[in-house]
Homo-oligomer: A and B are copies of this chain.
Amino acid sequence: MTAVLVVDDDPHLLRALRITLQAHGYDVTTAADGHSALLAATQHPLALVILDLGLPDLDGTSVLRELRTWSRVPVLVLSARHGSEDKVEALDAGADDYITKPFGLDELLARLRALLRRSADPGQEPVVTTEAFTVDLEKHRVTRDGQDIRLTPTEWKMLEVLVRNPEKLVTQQQLLSEVWGPAYAKETNYLRVYMAQLRRKLEPEAAAPRHLVTEAGIGYRFVP
């Protein structure tokens, strides 16, 4: 699900946006001030941020600059101010779009789609290869030494999540919630069992995995 963070100090607008966005299938988190916004942005990976410039604690542009020191997440700025200086300042601080209040919800949604479309990983290779095995995400197929490897549905889902995030650390919670559902966040047993299966089937030396790597205490990582 697409994770969106909405930052605004007006509880009514926040609520309205949350409901609208959730109705359109987004996974919404909210924050009412700059500090909690920055904190929330560190907690879990976001696809997009909607940021109101008029915040009680920090000025919105500062939040933006701060965020931009370590994140490239697309940011859509909301503002009550129509002046072009404000727009230029926000856009140059790293905003990707700027929309003034009052705005139409359908326009907001359309701009949001446009931003997400652009930031969507363009060149996700449908086929990922390592020295040991090959994963074809489109054909839903895994090969090793030219031979097909049979994976159970769960094994495949887990491998898919890892392979779609090459080099990235995928946390246990991410894996569990993407494969088994958000309710299973505590069942780390599953991960151990299925990771062992995958390694037995894919790694040349299951005891010393080179491509399906454990990051103790946090999660797993696929390295091609």
Q: Is A87 an interface residue (CB 8 A)?
A: yes
Q: In the complex, what residue of chain B is closest to A125 when comparing beta carbons? A: B72
Which of B91, B95, B107 interacts with A88 by CB under 8 Å? B107
* A153 interface residue per 8 A CB criterion: yes
- Oligomeric state, in copies: 2
User: Is there an interface contact between A126 and B218, defined as CB atoms closer than 8 Å?
Assistant: no
**In the complex, chain A residues 106-149 whose Cβ is within 8 Å of any chain B Cβ:** 106-107, 109-111, 113-114, 117-119, 122, 124-126, 128, 137-141
| A160 close to B (CB within 8 Å) | yes
**Complex-state Cα separation, A43 to B212, whole angstroms:** 23
Show 25 residue pairs from A and B whose CB-CB distance is below 8 angstroms, ordered by the A residue. Answer: A69-B164, A70-B163, A71-B137, A71-B138, A72-B126, A85-B106, A87-B110, A88-B107, A88-B110, A91-B110, A91-B113, A92-B113, A92-B114, A94-B117, A96-B114, A97-B97, A98-B111, A118-B118, A139-B168, A139-B169, A140-B169, A152-B216, A153-B216, A153-B217, A153-B218
For residue A36, CB closer than 8 A to chain B, the reply is no
Chain B residues with Cβ below 8 Å from A217 are 152-153
When distances are taken between beta carbons in the complex, the residues of chain B under 8 Å from A85 are 106
Residues on B with beta carbons closer than 8 Å to the beta carbon of A117: 94
Known: A71-B137, A139-B167. 13 other contacts (CB 8 A): A72-B122, A84-B106, A87-B107, A88-B106, A88-B110, A94-B117, A96-B114, A96-B118, A139-B168, A140-B168, A152-B217, A153-B216, A153-B218
**A25 to B182 alpha-carbon distance, docked (Å):** 34
B-binding residues in A (CB < 8 A): 42, 69-72, 74, 84-85, 87-88, 91-92, 94-98, 104, 106-107, 109-111, 113-114, 117-119, 122, 124-126, 128, 137-141, 152-153, 156, 160, 163-164, 166-169, 215-218
Contacts of A153 in B (CB 8 A): 216-218
* Closest chain B CB from A120 CB (angstroms): 10
Taking the nearest CB of chain B, how far is it from the CB of A141, in angstroms? 7
The interface residues of chain B lying within 8 Å CB-to-CB of A42 are 160, 164
> Bound complex: CA of A164 vs CA of B72, how far in Å?
13
Cα distance, A143 to B153, chains bound together (Å): 34
